[in-house]
Structure 1
Amino acid sequence: MDHVLGRAALLPAANDNVRTPNDDRMLRAALHHFAAHGLGAAEAARENAETAFFAGDREQYRWWLGICRMLDRRMADAVRVRREAAQ
């Protein structure tokens, strides 16, 4: 079979769905956040992350950035890059 599909076809999937309890907690929180804010949920999470960052609350910053990442990875990556540059 590997001569037809190539060796990569026989390797395990990169997304092996290994989840941690914290992933599930954040996923539930992201879904609730989306239900409350609709299509503006990622933007609201970004604003919450930035507010926490400037207040010096790194734990809340990471939490809201994780929520933002679940909803819009590019937005979260842009926030992270800007914050790292500001430090």
Structure 2
Amino acid sequence: MALRFAAARCASRSPIARALAWRAIRRAANDNRQLIPANDIDERTTAALRLFAGHGLGSAGIAAGHARQAHREGDTQTARWWLAICFSLDRNMAGELERQLAEPVVLATE
């Protein structure tokens, strides 16, 4: 009895793979019909992206820390700046931080 060898087909060139790829290509669409020009990105977004590029997923916590520090020093403008950057990166964390900063600090006196 003779055995015959039949090499496997390349998966990328199979008729099924081509049909599935064609459907995926036809469905692909750009959601952003109007692209935002680079000069329209505001300062806060640029700062948030730079912070994220440097610190990764922990960047929202770092921004929150800067906001807390500025708030302790009485610099409300800088605290708002860092809070806005934190909001760009993590809305939940920024909302919690905003509630914390809005509460008056009560010092226990003994």
TM-score of the aligned structures, taking structure 2 as reference length:
0.57
Deviation at 1:86, TM superposition (A): 2.0
Larger Rg: 2
Gaps of 5+ in 1: 1-20
Return structure 1 stretches of 4+ with deviation > 2 angstroms.
Answer: none
Bigger relative contact order, structure 1 or 2 (CA pairs below 8 A, ≥6 apart): 1
String of CA shifts for 1:27-68, please: whole Å, max 9, x gaps: 001000101111100000000000000000101100000000
Q: Once the two structures are aligned, what percentage of the paired residues are identical? A: 41
After superposition, the CA RMSD in angstroms is: 1.6
1:69 to 87, 99, 102: 87
More helix by share: 1
Instruction: Using the TM superposition, give the Cα deviation of residue 24 of structure 1 relative to its aligned residue in structure 2, in angstroms.
Output: 1.0
Unaligned runs of 5+ in 2: 1-38, 106-110
- TM-score if structure 1 supplies the norm length? 0.71
Match of 2:44 among 21, 26, 36: 26
